[in-house]
Amino acid sequence: MRAGRTEETDRAVAYLLMRLTIGASLFGHGLVRLPNLAAFHAQLMGEFKASILPGVLVSVCGYALPFAELVTGVLLLAGALTRAAAVAGALMMIVLVVGATSIEHFNVIGEQLVHTIFLAAVVAFRSHNNYSVDHLLAGRRSPSV
């Protein structure tokens, strides 16, 4: 019995480390971009001048991306709305991959794919999300026997 319990604890700790790592990455990206939002936006608009993507789409993404990164990162760090945050993060990565390919910045796509793998794993192994706000709230909702 003890071995099974240790294995489950190990899985929960491994999941926590994975969730915290991807959450910290997204949070950090948003955190450093927000104070310099205008400069980040201007840099992005300059990089995407030759892109096939409409400028208005690039502009909206340039303003929204740091907020999305920050919020998604905070949710993942806390383990709150974990599934929704991971799915939102993966969708954000799809947008980033499309953007990178549109300006032929293929060198950054590997990093975006690594983020996507982590985010997919957060969804796939969510049953091990024991150290989280989601787990605490689920415990309060379950009926007492």
Q: How far is CA 105 from the centre of its chain?
A: 21
pLDDT digits (tens, 9 = 90+) for 106-128: 999 999 999 999 999 999 999 99
Q: pLDDT: is 41 or 5 the higher one?
A: 41
What was the pLDDT predicted at 143? 56
| pTM for this model (two decimals) | 0.92
What was the pLDDT predicted at 145? 42
Q: Smallest Cα–Cα separation from 58: which of 46, 70, 67, 68? A: 46
